[in-house]
Amino acid sequence: MNKVNHIAIIMDGNGRWGKQRGKSRNFGHQNGIKVIEKIVEASIKFKIPVLTFYTFSSENWKRPKKEVGFLFNLIKYYFTREIKNLIKNNIKINIIGNIKNLPKNVKLSLLESMKRTKRCNKILVNLAINYGSKNEIIETLKKMSKKRVPINVKNFEKNLYTKNIVNPDILIRTGGKKRLSNFLLWQMAYTEIYFIKTLWPDFKVNEYIKIINNFKKVKRNYGNI
């Protein structure tokens, strides 16, 4: 039976969910936060060590300015409000992506959250913010060139945003789309992928558990027969 060490999630469908209810896309994003909390709680219960949520991609800057601004304010508001609960529940927060270009107040909030939860060890929650896998790969090669280290798989992985983090066993993408959207392309070479029609705000814990149970029975060959 396969052990689940890391689950990555593309939380697609928030905007469509909001529109379907005669509300704004931002209404969908607000409700999506509640699902993140439930999935983190379930992951702690099932002793899954690492979760990674695709929160804001490097391509999401192309969205309307109001939506982008709302997303950043939502992130900042959440960590300001919930930081004590995160520490109490022993949840470690880590940000992967280029946060240099984020609004200053959002960047400071994220850095503070990482600092205050760095000793937490029940679960590691990675948030991919201003993240794009192609950019990560280019930046990794630049780092290696600057350090003048040999280019090989081991050294490459030491310089990724996800250094020292086990690669995802499972990728879940909600919302019915069947694509990776420039997310953890290197890290997901042997990840089992589950594309789900359910829009993210409707994604339930029981559906999550079904995916985990299915994964446990999958034969993982890693290129072997």
Three-class DSSP labels, 61-93: HHCCHHHHHHHHHHHHHHHHHHHHHHHHCCEEE
Give the whole-angstrom CA distance, residue 83 versus residue 123: 15
Q: From the candidates 2, 14, 31, 60, give the one annotated as an active-site residue.
A: 60
Tell me whether residue 12 is one of the annotated catalytic residues: yes
Give the whole-angstrom CA distance, residue 170 versus residue 213: 11
Q: From the candidates 12, 26, 126, 167, give the one annotated as an active-site residue.
A: 12
Tokens in use for 118? 């760095």
Give the whole-angstrom CA distance, residue 171 versus residue 188: 8
Give the whole-angstrom CA distance, residue 185 versus residue 179: 11
Q: Which of 62, 68, 151 is nearest to 102 (CA)?
A: 68
Cite the active site residues.
12, 60
